[in-house]
Amino acid sequence: MALLFLGYNCSIQTQTRKVFTPAQFPQEIKSIDGKSPFLKAHTLSGWVYILTDWNVDEAAKKVNGNGKLLNTDREIVESGEFSVPLDSVALFETNVVSTSPAIASMAIITALSVAVTIFCITNPKACFGSCPTFYVSDGERELLQSEGFSASVAPSLEAKDIDALYRARPASRGFQVRMTNEALETHVLRFVNLLAVPKPEGGRVFATASWEFWQAENITAPKKCEAEEGDCLDQILCFDGKERFSQTDSNDLATREAVELEFENVPNGNLGLVIAARQTFLSTYLFYQTLAYMGNSAGEWLTRLKTGGEITKRGAQGIRNVLGGIEVSFQDEFGNWISAGVIHETGPLAADVRVVTLGSFEKGPSRIRLRLTKGHWRLDWLAMVELGNKIEPIQLKPSEVQRQGKIDEKALSLLLDSSQVLVTLPGDEYDLHYQLPEDYKNYELFLESRGYYLEWMREEWLKEENAYLAARMFTNPKAALKDLAPEYKKIEAEIEEYFWKSKYARP
């Protein structure tokens, strides 16, 4: 009952005030469009009319209404019907009251000072943070194989994500995914499903950035890999955790580089380039820096993100767009570099496996170029494949959810109903169980999740609150990336180590 009472009284309203001169009156009144039931007319003497049920008599150049006239002490000197000549008014004022858009916003900002590791204290922007993380067995041990919707850092950025479980090796029809919240974050999940796609005989299935699923065969390794540092072949031959990555530019975090591959005995037909990669912690650092600049106003920023429409959302992606994805080009027979596509999978924790379709060839290209931002990507595996059929996946919803060894019917029902959400807090772990098709070994598995997450503000970040710099991350990301380069360089070499050591774990 108390809640209902408070709810009734709790309609949060905002007020938008406008002031304008009599000359601006006709135009301004149209823009208000009847939303301001009260009109204030200020005179040069400091007295003010407050009128309701007002209207404008343009021919007589007067404002008519019912109300009161107040003196400079704001005492009522007269009340009733007024007809006020426009030329006796120095300034008009309107106040439009509306329900606060903040009502519909969901954001959580909590400043905590937790018992963090020494690494977090000295490097607060290297502190562990992630979206939901998913662990799946490779047949021998559990591996971190997916991180869900890494770019969805606000309710208005809620999105679906599909990650390949390329190294999953199911041992039976019963398949388990462990979902964890290992950061100081609130995770909001709408669903977590498996997608099963039949594999071709002796082949695999790969997904494109737009979630087309292609059967593939003839996986071909490159013969050469050249980058700024020289030979990079060894790092990208297998999907084994050995990665090729570079350092950022000291003066501009957006500086690009190229990695070139050469292939021999390239197959004919419909070809694609497989890329297994994850981001470095550069994007995480920049995200945290943005939150630090927002400081105590972070909630308000997130509200603006929700209410500001598509233009605001696009602005919010500014840094991400400037840093860019991995652009793939191939060299045609005339020596031209033809752009094939780009992958831009956000997330520094789990390498994702994607394919970029190159096209159909009678003689496939032998040279491929990747263009990417220095220090932004860790490449684990690169290979060319021959693409076969495009296949629609089978969607498998969880059949059971367990928490701390016990069946959690509530969590299951929330994940099965996409109008509801499952919210997890730091330290939460859920075991999601799925039933695979009978011939489970013949399927490639992918994890399909949807939701968003909210970063918890660290107290250490609040000291950097700066509205101008926060705004600049959105309005002029290129300049921001130049200015932040020296600071990032100070921690770049150790950030990966700091990050993993500061994972949140329940005692």
Partner 1 sequence: MPVRRIASLILLSCLTCLVLGCARSSATKGWLPVASQARQEAFGGWIEVKYGAGEEEKEVKGELIAVEEDSLFTLSEIGLVSIAAGDISRATLRAYDSKHGTLATWTLLGTLSTASHGLILIISAPVWILWGSVTTGAASRAPEVKYRQEAWEELRKFARFPLGMPGGLDRGHMKAKGFW
Among 32, 102, 233, 322, binds partner 1 (CB under 8 A): 102
Per rule CB under 8 A, is residue 22 in the interface with partner 1? no
Report the residue from 29, 63, 70, 445 that binds partner 1 according to the rule CB under 8 A.
Answer: 70
Minimum distance between the CB of residue 216 and partner 1, rounded to whole angstroms? 41
Q: How many residues belong to the site for partner 1 (CB under 8 A)?
A: 59
Minimal CA–CA distance to 301: which of 475, 161, 421, 484?
Answer: 475
Q: Give the tokens for residue 249.
A: 């530019």
Q: Which element (helix H / strand E) includes 130? A: none
Closest separation in Å from C-beta 455 to partner 1:
13
Nearer to partner 1, 268 or 413 (CB): 413
Q: Does 1 bind partner 1 (CB under 8 A)?
A: no
The interface region with partner 1, picked from 6-14, 79-87, 146-154, 327-335 by CB under 8 A, is 6-14
Residue of the chain from 23, 34, 73, 505 that contacts partner 1 (CB under 8 A): 73
Minimum distance from residue 464 beta carbon to partner 1 (Å)? 16
Q: Is 31 in the site for partner 1 (CB under 8 A)?
A: no
Residues 371-430 close enough to bind partner 1 by CB under 8 A: 421, 423-425
Measured from the CB atom, the residue of 363 and 406 that comes closer to partner 1 is 406
The tokens for 248 are 């950022």
Q: Does 188 contact partner 1 by CB under 8 A?
A: yes
37 lies in the binding site for partner 1 (CB under 8 A): yes
Helix then strand then coil, in percent of the chain rounded to 5, is 25, 40, 35
Rg (CA), the chain: 29
CB of 255 to partner 1, least distance (A): 33
What is the CA angle 256-262-267, rounded to 5?
Answer: 125
User: 443: which strand partners?
Assistant: 198
Ramachandran assignment for 312, one of left (phi > 0), alpha (psi -120 to 50 degrees), beta (any other) = alpha
Structure tokens, 374: 């220095």
3-class SS at 347? coil
CB closer to partner 1 out of 74 and 169: 74
What is the footprint of partner 1 within residues 139-178 (CB under 8 A)? none
Token pair 């390329």: residue: 166
Range in contact with partner 1 (rule: CB under 8 A) among 107-115, 354-362, 433-441, 491-499: 107-115
Helix ranges (DSSP H) in 372-466: 409-416, 459-462
Rounded CA-CA distance 294/470 in Å is: 6
Is residue 9 part of the contact set for partner 1 (CB under 8 A)? yes
Q: Where are the beta strands (DSSP E) in 140-211?
A: 142-147, 159-164, 174-180, 185-198, 204-207
Residues 298-357 that bind partner 1 (CB under 8 A): 298-300, 302-303
Q: Which residues pair with 387 in a beta bridge?
A: 216
DSSP H/E element including 184: none
Q: Which of 7, 34, 80, 230 binds partner 1 (CB under 8 A)?
A: 7
Using CB under 8 A as the binding rule, whether residue 241 contacts partner 1 is answered as no
Task: Using the structure block, give the residue that is written with the tokens 């591996």.
Answer: 143
Is residue 465 involved in binding partner 1 (CB under 8 A)? no
**Cβ(328)–Cβ(367) under 8 Å?**
no
Q: In 315-376, where do the E strands start and end?
A: 326-331, 337-343, 352-361, 367-373
Output the six-digit token pair for 140.
């021998």
Which window, 31-39, 116-124, 194-202, 443-451, contacts partner 1 (CB under 8 A)? Answer: 31-39
Q: Does 360 bind partner 1 (CB under 8 A)?
A: no
469 binds partner 1 (CB under 8 A): no
457 vs 455: CA distance, rounded Å: 6
Q: Smallest distance, Å, CB 41 to partner 1? A: 10
183 is written with which tokens?
Answer: 């950061």
Measured between alpha carbons, how far is 85 from 203 in angstroms, rounded to an integer?
84
Token pair of 457 as six digits: 């503000």
**Closer by beta carbon to partner 1, 74 or else 490:** 74
By the rule CB under 8 A, 10 interacts with partner 1: yes
**For 373, how many CA atoms within 13 A lie in the half-sphere containing its CB?**
24
Among 60, 77, 90, 171, binds partner 1 (CB under 8 A): 90
Stretch that binds partner 1, among 4-12, 22-30, 283-291, 314-322 (CB under 8 A): 4-12
| CB 351, CB 245: distance < 8 Å | no
Distance of closest approach, residue 59 Cβ to partner 1, in angstroms: 27
DSSP 61: T
User: Distance between the two ends of the chain, CA-based, in angstroms?
Assistant: 37
Nearer to partner 1, 60 or 112 (CB): 112
Give the dihedral of Cα atoms 183, 184, 189, 192; nearest 10 deg: 10
Query: Among residues 40, 354, 369, 374, which is the contact residue for partner 1, using CB under 8 A?
Result: 40
50 binds partner 1 (CB under 8 A): yes
Q: Determine the interface stretch with partner 1 among 72-80, 128-136, 268-276, 429-437 (rule: CB under 8 A).
A: 72-80
Q: How far is the CB of 110 from partner 1 (least distance, A)?
A: 5
**Footprint on this chain of partner 1 (rule: CB under 8 A):** 2-3, 6-7, 9-10, 12-15, 17-19, 36-38, 40, 42, 44-46, 48, 50, 70, 72-75, 90-91, 93, 95, 97, 100, 102-103, 105-112, 186, 188, 296-300, 302-303, 421, 423-425, 454, 467
